[in-house]
Amino acid sequence: MDYIGEHSLISFLGRASVALSFAGAVATVFFYSLYFFRSKNKKTNDHRGIKSAGRLSFAFHSIGVFGTIAILFTALFNHWFEFDYVWRHSSLEMPMKYIASCFWEGQEGSFLLWTTWHVILGWVLVGTAKKWEFGTLMLLAMVQVFLTSMLLGIYIGDLKIGSSPFILIRELPENIGLPWTELRDYLIRLPSLRNGQGLNPLLQNYWMVIHPPTLFLGFASVTIPFLFALTGILEKKYYEWVIPALPWTFFGISILGTGVLMGGAWAYEALSFGGFWAWDPVENSSLVPWLTLVAAGHLMMIVKHKKSAPATALFLTILSFLLVLYSTFLTRSGILGETSVHAFVDLGLNGQLIAFLGFFSIGSIFIYLFHWKKYPKSPSEEAFSSREFWMFIGSMTLLISAAQITFSTSIPVLNKFIGPEGLLPILGNSMAPPADAAKHFNSLQIPLALVITSLLAIGPFLRWKETPSALFKRILPSFIITILISALCVWGLKLYNPLYAALLFVSIFGVFSNADYWIRIVRGRWTSSGMALAHLGFSMVLIGALISNGKKEAISTNATYIHEDFPSNENILLPLNDTVSMYPYYVSWRNERTEGHNRVFDVDFYETKESSTWNDFKRPELKPSFTLNPFIQINDRMGNVREPSTKHFWNRDVYTYISYADLRPLNEKNGDWSDPMEAVLESGEEVFLFNEYLLYCDTLNVQNASINQNSGEIEHLDLELELILKSMNGDETDLTLPYHLDGNEAHTSEVELEEKGLKFRFDGVATAEGKFNITAWEKNNGDPPFVLLQAFIFPYINLLWLGSILMGIGTLLAVWKRVYRAINENRK
């Protein structure tokens, strides 16, 4: 049957592209793997045939992937809402600039994004990997087989393989066989298909346009060193693999690190948990591969410089990729459910995700262990004063840090195994994540950060093999400066927690020693600046995170004493148009308005004139300082979201959000009546009202009814609903609410109980049979409208952002250094 206006051809083309990319990936694996079978049998150097066939298959795979993207974008761009993906993730009202966010809001789109980066990086490998091409592309194509299969959307028996972004709404399992799917013109007839559900407003933020592609490029670049490591094992090139793998590793460190921090920037700007990092499982699971990749990169440098045992470097490189897969599994399988604030959609692909994770974990660990005996051992022992020894210690510390974060994040997975309903029920009750996540992670991660940061401060001055004793003379200047500066900081910031003070000390040392190294030893030569800049940036990120979090100050304190169980509250009550003291500012809530999805609150901040003192009984003279506009996003899909507004100064941020507000329009809040309360009742039921009353629904009386003899429709109807209002003291008041239907027009009137200060309205019969809709209001007690505000000062948070930029640039320079050398060697 031809459906009117439906783009069935496009849907077919889309699925054909996915099928092409899948088939292309399978063919690539086939042709490139021929090399391994042929090279074992006979010594032939001519692999040109299989190379061309492999490249051609990869080209078909790429055409499929890019075709898929193009078709999905076309459908999104043209608002073809017969596509389930388009209907679910976009709408007519959504600004076009966020179309990219719609693309990767769903799981299918984000898998596609990841696949695409693999394709692009794969072509770079084709161009640069030379003799490594066979192994790396074969393995990459295996990853692609799994990734593209997630988009197939086919059923083999009852087994669902993948979820296609091109499935039409009428083809969804829940709709198959419904009468409307048989209508040729269903697109015209179904009003709900004229517009989609729209993009989650929370993601309509510019960070969400750039954060996902950056993060997935980071994930994709963790794959490449893994490909080299495994190819190195398979081809017995236990040392050589690090040369091509190193620039990719630093590229991954740079991009993945930036991507993770961008996620933090989004959280800081769009979410109101009060900070950029919450140790949320989703954040953790993308941080962990970064930590192991950094460790792997350092171990690779040891292998490269010292020809030492490659076993640990191989292990960590493989582990980093497996952790990316594990992170994908955690965030997409819905297993984190109750423990994370992030929203997940379970697409029913868990079996496939486990197969993906299982295939590569078991496969690569088997290959790694199978060749265990053949890995070269270190020719000599590392000296205590050598750079490699301390680099090794640092990498191991990073591994411990990654392992600890993984343990804590995996608690829901652990429950599946040993929880009360798990495979091996050891625990009586399911484990829950630590109650105070920040305290838990800080207590374990700060000691590890201390070790890592002191090593990256001293490390650059150490020499390979052995360091002459002149080392101490060389780091002495920066050490002395550090003691002075950090003493000043600890005193100035009153940062007396010993663990925090120690971390501040080593981080400042990291900044100064690396700056010193950059100026005196590298002398600012760009190609060699990578290490110093990256280390400096990392130390600065730590300083920024430490000061801004450790000295985060809630200025919106509420002094009301409630109970010894409760600490003083961090919410300040702002009545409309009143000016309230919130040291060091005075604040005033002046107005609110509606902008798109958002209810925006204008909060003015005032400073006191310098001449007036705070302690005067007279009100000090005020001068306007700045205005902040925190808002509440009215979000039907995820519930309303409180979004912060922040004033950035060079040395601090003033961060605010509305923690509670009555969402009625201002004029209504100012009016005589309270927030309406809606109740749905049937005869004999009762409901609580305004904490004081019970409203009992007695009977419904039909007074007059006349039916049109011709059409059978109701022409005229008078209803009276009888209710009894019961007070806490036992009083009962009878109440009769009228409802009057005239043709299609309903007339209701509000009934006021003056002595109680209440009024009621009968809104008709609810869709559920026999239930009545009632709205009730309470008289306002004369208090002006108010909001509750939370305000924090984050001191020196800009150091964090500056540090992340430096770290990103530093690691990219480390990539450039190696690419530059490779180009120069080629010329020779």
Partner 1 sequence: MKKTQIVLLLVIAIMIGALLVTLEDASVYATFEIAEKQKPETVTVVAKVDLNNPIKFDPKTTLLTFKAIDKDGESRSVVYNQPKPMDFERSEEITLTGHSTDINFVATEILMKCPSKYTDDEGLDTTGIYSINS
Does 382 participate in binding partner 1 (rule CB under 8 A)?
A: yes
Does 393 participate in binding partner 1 (rule CB under 8 A)?
A: yes
Q: How many CA atoms lie within 13 A of 451 on its CB side?
A: 16
What region, left, alpha or beta, does residue 827 occupy, with left being phi > 0 and alpha being psi -120 to 50 degrees?
alpha
Give DSSP secondary structure letters for 621-675: PEEEEEEE--EEE--TTT--EEE-EEEE-SSEEEEEEEEEE--S-HHHHHSSB--
Does 337 participate in binding partner 1 (rule CB under 8 A)?
A: yes
Does 392 participate in binding partner 1 (rule CB under 8 A)?
A: yes
CA distance 821 to 828: 11
Please list every residue from 184 through 203 that binds partner 1, using CB under 8 A.
Answer: 185, 188-193, 197
CA distance 290 to 533: 18
Does 578 participate in binding partner 1 (rule CB under 8 A)?
A: no
The mark string for 516-555 relative to partner 1 (x by CB under 8 A, - otherwise) is: ----------------------------------------
CB of 481 to partner 1, least distance (A): 31
CB of 297 to partner 1, least distance (A): 18
Does 378 participate in binding partner 1 (rule CB under 8 A)?
A: yes
CB of 318 to partner 1, least distance (A): 17
Q: Contact 249/300 with Cβ under 8 angstroms?
A: yes
CB of 610 to partner 1, least distance (A): 33
Does 431 participate in binding partner 1 (rule CB under 8 A)?
A: yes
Q: Which amino acid, one-letter code, is at 340?
A: S
CA 392 to chain centre: 32
Give DSSP secondary structure letters for 214-263: HHHHHHHHHHHHHHHHHHHHHTT-TTTTHHHHHHHHHHHHHHHHHHHHHH
What region, left, alpha or beta, does residue 72 occupy, with left being phi > 0 and alpha being psi -120 to 50 degrees?
alpha
The only residue of 438, 484, 488, 638 in contact with partner 1, by rule CB under 8 A: 638
Please list every residue from 344 through 363 that binds partner 1, using CB under 8 A.
Answer: 344-346
Beta bridge partners of 641: 633
Dihedral sign from CA coordinates of 278, 283, 285, 289: negative
Of the ranges 32-40, 211-219, 486-494, 563-571, which one interacts with partner 1 (CB under 8 A)? Answer: 563-571
Pick 744 or 826: Cβ nearer partner 1:
744
The only residue of 566, 614, 617, 650 in contact with partner 1, by rule CB under 8 A: 566
Does 338 participate in binding partner 1 (rule CB under 8 A)?
A: yes
Q: Contact 399/316 with Cβ under 8 angstroms?
A: yes
The only residue of 636, 675, 682, 732 in contact with partner 1, by rule CB under 8 A: 636
Does 411 participate in binding partner 1 (rule CB under 8 A)?
A: yes
The only residue of 659, 798, 804, 811 in contact with partner 1, by rule CB under 8 A: 659
Does 92 participate in binding partner 1 (rule CB under 8 A)?
A: no
Pick 677 or 802: Cβ nearer partner 1:
677
Of the ranges 322-330, 588-596, 683-691, 741-749, which one interacts with partner 1 (CB under 8 A)? Answer: 683-691
Does 429 participate in binding partner 1 (rule CB under 8 A)?
A: yes
Please list every residue from 137 through 176 that binds partner 1, using CB under 8 A.
Answer: 169, 174-175
What angle do the packed helices 133-149 and 8-41 form, to 10 degrees?
Answer: 150
CB of 365 to partner 1, least distance (A): 17
Lookup: tokens for 767: 């869709």
The only residue of 15, 61, 88, 535 in contact with partner 1, by rule CB under 8 A: 88
Give DSSP secondary structure letters for 149-191: HTT--EEETTEEE---TT-BGGGSTTTTT-GGGG-TTHHHH-G
CA distance 554 to 569: 9
Of the ranges 140-148, 236-244, 279-287, 634-642, which one interacts with partner 1 (CB under 8 A)? Answer: 634-642
Beta bridge partners of 335: none
The only residue of 55, 269, 334, 726 in contact with partner 1, by rule CB under 8 A: 334
Lookup: tokens for 809: 């640039």
Residue 572, SS3? strand
Does 309 participate in binding partner 1 (rule CB under 8 A)?
A: yes
Does 4 participate in binding partner 1 (rule CB under 8 A)?
A: no
The only residue of 4, 70, 120, 343 in contact with partner 1, by rule CB under 8 A: 343
Does 711 participate in binding partner 1 (rule CB under 8 A)?
A: no
